[in-house]
Structure 1
Amino acid sequence: MKTAHGLAGSSRRRLTRVTSASSEDRFLSPMLAPRFALDTKTLRGADLHLDIAGLTARSAQRKRRDALWASIVESGCSIAARLPPHCRLALPLDSVETPPDVLILHLATSLIATKLDASRLELEFGENTLASENDALFYALAALRDLGVGLVFAGLGAGVTSLTLLRDRAFTGLLSALKLDRQILLRPHTVAEAEPPLIRAIVRFGADFGLTTRADGVDSPETLAFLTDVGCAEGRGAALGHAETVPCFLSTHGFGDNAHDEG
């Protein structure tokens, strides 16, 4: 398995580009939405929410041409380093059409700078990204997987081709988790009558392929009970807890606002 140190190599000069957690936090106003195991209601991780407008402005102000994903990766690594080891942080990379080669290098560099193990991170890709049929996508996902990063198919159920795409990508063995889109849980009652069998099928499919299934939009006790009953492993939403700033998240869950050093 490749290590972050091996991938970074001559790119150590990029370390100066990774900002500190405190300056990153002040600019981006990151929020963490807690993610719980639905059967035990224990904290499993968090989903990163960022001020996308602020990120875009920050990228535009830089002399170098950084994509949005670069700021998300930098901020995500510095924040994940402050969380306890069992708490995996999911980073939203829905806007990335195809993971570029430099994403892997940039991630490896950020991991070194923050002394963070890659297994502490998960990258969420949407349907638009995973639908690509080029070799670059598969090589990039394989490299990220080998680095130890979790790969999540996010927004599942929102697009018309999601189920076919899920089948195709599950067979590649590159995914580690599935994330049900909140819209599949929040549709009007007349439409939602058909959703329970679909959700059951997705959860069962994920289990058959050894994938963790999680849900976004667990906003009511009824939704929580249903998802728990069908075997959905993790979820986030109003019925479980609200998104908070990083210091508040650490305080709420009894971790204290201290960085967790990887060594």
Structure 2
Amino acid sequence: MDTALNDIVFIIFVAFFLCAALTIFSVRRYRDLARETKARAIAEREARDLVRHDPLTGLPNRGLFDEKLDACLGLARDKHQVAVLLLGLDGFKRIKDTHGHAAEDKALCEFANRVADILRKDGVLARIGNDEFGIVLPAISSLEVPANLAHRIVASATETFAIETGAAELGVGIGIAIAPIDGVNLHELVRRAERALYRAQGDSRSRVRFFEPEMDMHVERRTQIERELRSAITADIIEPYYQPLVSLKGNCIIGFEALARWENRTLGRIPPDVFIPIAEETGLINALGDQLFRRACFDANAWPEAFTLAFNISPIQLRDLSLGQRILSILGQTGFSPRRLEIEITESAFVEKTGVAKTVIDVLRQAGVRIALDDFGTGYATLSQLLSFRLDKIKIDRSFVSHLNDSADSRVIVRAILGLAKGFGLTTTAEGVEDAGQLDFLVANGCTEGQGYMFSDAVPAAGINALLNRESGRTTVAEDGTRSLHA
């Protein structure tokens, strides 16, 4: 009996011990699970937070910007105005190309810090693109609030940015849309702020623009032009016209510059300064450039062998390492001699991926192609950059030539350019020659060539023979095939 009782007591004790151990284990396990759950929740929250922020600047990214804007719009329905500002940096890419990625990152962070210092406490600043920022200003009292902020941001950006290799400059364009004036939902407001930004950046460096209803019409037309441009390239209906290049010493035509012309059945005649930038922005410029160049080479084969063909290459095309080989390939396909070709580039090509541009130009020069610098004096290339490229010709921009008769400053600038070119043994072409006074000045100061309405406007390929054989007797044929002008 005692043995049985002892067994029962022992069993009860063991059971109690096991229950206590199990309880302790459960409590500890519960605490561990609670800690794990809390740690997991913190990690998930931090992960979500990281996903919603820009890793470089620490600012909210596009997703969080949209959330905060949507929340502000929800709170302000019919009560307060909300401003959306979109900031687009100008010169950001140039810093990267010139000074490298580290300098680019440092300048971007510095810009973000400057804006954050200016922004009021209830404002939201976000990095919404590589070189774009967005700001939400809730409950604004008047349009002067976002306008004043925008102009303070522009002023802050004009101060140079210190980087390890020196100093860099940035400009900023700002587009502003207001709720509910310009829209009541997120997507509508952002779209209209983008359109205002597009116009601000198109006006000039560092501008501020509020959205205006006509901007919608402007963007719709641009969209239509882009659509028609794609079709025109597919159908090969954009054609080169040709403007004479005239030797001022021999008073004769020595070649032609190819200029793109586009007549659209719906939109009418679209100027090249409208459709060429669109082709560059949409990535169509290489297809369009190759197409026009091929047609120009075929046309130029019909000219006297002494005539040269000048063809413009945009800075966007010069970013492509394959450009040089494509040009040489087209020359081979068309049978046009590279020694009759002049490729015209602008100063901006010297600061955008200079190494790529130099490689392309070296390939062309080795094949015998001449290189001309177009619109000289209007860009921002340094003299050392110009000298690093082996140029054959400098083209004096029409903005200087047009004021030769009435501006002493223009005459000084043109004389300086001509002197510089002579010192380096370069040919010079004056663009936009329109009257005898300009021509006399250019000839007297040693300009080599001229181009402009005084000699002829651009004509289609079919009109070149008529140009060379005008019934008025203004042209005669020399022994070498060139045409002398008797204007």
TM-score band (shorter)? 0.7 to 0.9
3-state DSSP of counterpart to 2:425? coil
Please state how far the C-alpha of 1:236 moved relative to its aligned partner: 0.8
- Quote how far apart the aligned CAs of 1:210 are: 1.4
User: How is 1:15-164 mapped onto 2 (pairs within 5 angstroms)?
Assistant: 27-51=237-261, 66-96=286-316, 98-132=318-352, 134-159=354-379, 161=380
**Alpha carbons of structure 1 residues 246 and 83: separation in structure 2 relative to 1, 3 Å:** same
Partner of 1:222: 437
Q: CA deviation at 1:72?
A: 3.0
Q: Relative to structure 1, is the Cα distance of residues 93 and 109 closer, same or farther in structure 2, using a 3 angstrom cutoff?
A: same
Does the aligned pair in 2 maintain the 1:97–1:128 contact within 8 Å?
A: no
> Do the aligned partners of 2:321 and 2:359 also contact (CA within 8 Å) in 1?
no
For 2:361, what is the secondary structure of its paired residue? Answer: helix
Q: Does the CA contact (< 8 Å) of 2:404 and 2:410 recur in 1?
A: no
CA distance in 2, matches of 1:97, 1:65: 7
Query: Retained in 2: the 8 A contact 1:123–1:150?
Result: yes
Counterpart CA distance in 2 for 1:78 and 1:135 is 31
Identity of aligned residues (%): 22
Distance 1:235 1:85 in 2: 20
The answer as to whether partners of 1:214 and 1:235 remain within 8 angstroms in 2 is: yes
Shift of 1:144: 1.0
Give the equivalent residue in structure 1 for 2:396.
Answer: 180
Q: Deviations over 1:70-102 (max 9, x none)?
A: 223222222222221111111121353634222
Distance of aligned partners of 1:219 and 1:188 in 2 relative to their CA distance in 1, 3 Å threshold = closer
Pick aligned residue for 1:213 from 417, 428, 431: 428
Q: Displacement of 1:202 after TM fit?
A: 0.7
Cα displacement string for residues 138-182 of structure 1 (whole angstroms, at most 9, x for unaligned residues): 1111111111111111011223x35xx3x3244335111000111
Q: Which amino acid aligns with 2:402?
A: L
Give the residue type in structure 1 aligned to 2:239: S
User: Which amino acid in the other structure matches residue 253 of structure 1?
Assistant: L
Contact 2:236 2:291 in 1 (8 A): no
Out of 76-85 and 103-112, give the one that drifted further: 76-85
* Superposition misfits of 4+ residues, deviation over 6 angstroms: 54-57
Q: Which amino acid aligns with 1:233?
A: T
Q: For residues 144 and 169 of structure 1, do their structure 2 counterparts lie closer, same or farther at Cα, with a shift above 3 Å needed?
A: farther
Aligned to 2:466: 251
| TM-aligned CA distance change 1:115 to 1:189, over 3 Å | closer
1:198 CA displacement: 1.2
The answer to whether the 8 A contact 1:70-1:103 is kept is no
Structure 2 CA distance for partners of 1:65 and 1:169, relative to 1, 3 Å: closer
Unaligned runs of 5+ in 1: 1-23, 256-263
Q: Take 2:453 and 2:434, find their aligned partners in 1: how far apart are those partners?
A: 4
RCO higher in structure (CA 8 A, sep ≥6): 1
Change (3 A) 1:93 1:66: closer
Distance in 1 between the 2:249 and 2:271 partners? 37
Match of 1:242 in 2: 457
Indicate how the Cα distance of structure 1 residues 54 and 76 shifts in structure 2: closer, same or farther if over 3 A, else same: farther
Contact 2:311/2:343 (CA < 8 Å) preserved in 1? yes
Q: What is the TM-score normalised by the length of structure 2?
A: 0.42
* Secondary structure, counterpart of 2:243 in structure 1: strand
Out of 48-57 and 139-148, give the one that drifted further. Answer: 48-57
TM-score by length of 1: 0.75
- Name 1:20's counterpart in structure 2: none
How far is the alpha carbon of 1:29 from its aligned partner?
3.4
Larger radius of gyration: 2
In 2, the alpha carbon distance for the partners of 1:70 and 1:194 equals: 39
Which 10-residue stretch deviates more, 46-55 or 30-39? 46-55
Q: Partners in 1 of 2:333 and 2:398 — Cα distance?
A: 34
Deviation at 1:134, TM superposition (A): 3.3
Structure-2 separation of matches of 1:252 and 1:51: 18
What whole-Å deviation, never above 9, does each CA across 1:101-141 have from its counterpart, x for those lacking one? Answer: 22112111111111111011111111211233632221111
| Whole-angstrom distance in 1 between the partners of 2:294 and 2:438 | 34
Q: Aligned equivalents of 2:404 and 2:427: distance in 1?
A: 27
Which of 168, 172, 183 aligns to 2:384? It is: 168
Flag the 1:201–1:111 CA change in 2: closer, same or farther, 3 A: same
The CA distance in 1 between the partners of 2:462 and 2:391, in whole Å, is: 31
Q: How far does residue 217 in structure 1 lie from its aligned partner after superposition? A: 0.6
Count of paired positions: 223
